[in-house]
Amino acid sequence: EEDVFEYKKSLAIRTSGFDVPRPVKTFEDCGFSSQLMAAIKKQDYQKPTPIQCAALPIVLSGRDIIGIAKTGSGKTAAFVLPMIVHIMDQPELQKEEGPIGVICAPTRELAHQIYLESKKFAKSHGVRVSAVFGGMSKLDQFKELKAGCEIVVATPGRLIDMLKMKALTMQRATYIVLDEADRMFDLGFEPQIRSIVGQIRPDRQTLLFSATMPRKVEKLAREILSDPIRVTVGEVG
Ligand code: ADP
Ligand code: MG
């Protein structure tokens, strides 16, 4: 069944799936730590964007999500903020066991943007973020990963290289984000995505964001997500 929430007169948030948590109206509704709230305020984010209103309570409740919203709608914070909460909820932070949160993005430019955005929120809790994409020395990247981190932001190809080099393992990974999934498919990363996800324990939380949902992406989503809630943000037409 489908639920439609009106965000503004012209904008609807559509959700489908069972037991969908209601959208939040404010960041205060999310139960974030005071450190995270301060980081949000520092970004001058007054209130959540529509995709954030719908996605934050879903992801914070531990559910898998398929998020469909256009570019510029604020998807990054929708997956980064709950990721910090997820990491802080782990019993203890141990070194050199690999990332807890893994974010895959199609291009280095996008991975870099997500890396910068993640760091702004991660540093409020001393969470370490590593970027893994082409254009940097593999040796430097290897060393950085060996030093340990809680979050990896990566392009699929370079992440596979680092996994093969045993720069990191996925044994601690429990929160995976596939951002711009449609573009990753367009760029031919489907085998790499399947390989990466296949190395992550099945009781993980999986988030998939995409501007469009072609059949191939839909098929992957059905295979790797568990009882996902689908959120679509769009104009009322
Ligand atoms: P998307 O991934 O959906 O294309 P981004 O996550 O890159 O969008 O966000 C687009 C822009 O909106 C960024 O500059 C980001 O800092 C800003 N932004 C995100 N959330 C909010 C918010 N709640 N309030 C104001 N600006 C925001
Ligand atoms: Mg984005």
**What is the rounded CA–CA span in Å between residue 195 and residue 51?**
29
- Cα four-point dihedral sign 43, 44, 49, 54: positive
Ligand 1 pocket: which of 76, 184, 207, 233 to mutate (most atoms within 8 A of CB):
76
Task: Look at residues 204, 177, 166 and name the one whose alpha carbon lies nearest to residue 105.
Answer: 177
124 lines ligand 1 (CB under 6 A): no
CATH no. for 2-235: 3.40.50.300
Ligand 1, atom 19, residue with closest C-alpha = 74
DSSP 8-state code for residue 14: E
pLDDT digits (tens), the chain, 237 positions:
678 877 776 788 899 888 999 999 999 999 999 999 999 999 999 999 999 999 999 999 999 999 999 889 999 999 999 999 999 999 875 555 899 999 999 999 999 999 999 999 999 999 999 999 999 899 999 999 999 999 999 999 999 999 999 999 999 999 999 999 999 999 999 999 999 999 999 999 999 999 999 999 999 999 999 999 999 998 655
Going from the C-alpha of 103 to that of each of 167, 194, 220, the distances in angstroms are 16, 14, 16
Predicted TM-score (pTM) of the model is 0.95
Ligand 1 pocket: which of 7, 26, 73, 232 to mutate (most atoms within 8 A of CB):
73
Q: Domain ranges for the chain, please list them.
A: 2-235
73 lines ligand 1 (CB under 6 A): yes
Q: List, for residues 186-204, the tens digit of each pLDDT value.
A: 999 999 999 999 999 999 9
- What is the distance in A from the centroid of ligand 2 to the CA of 60? 19
User: Could you identify the residue written with the tokens 């802080």?
Assistant: 88
**What is the rounded CA–CA span in Å between residue 224 and residue 210?**
15
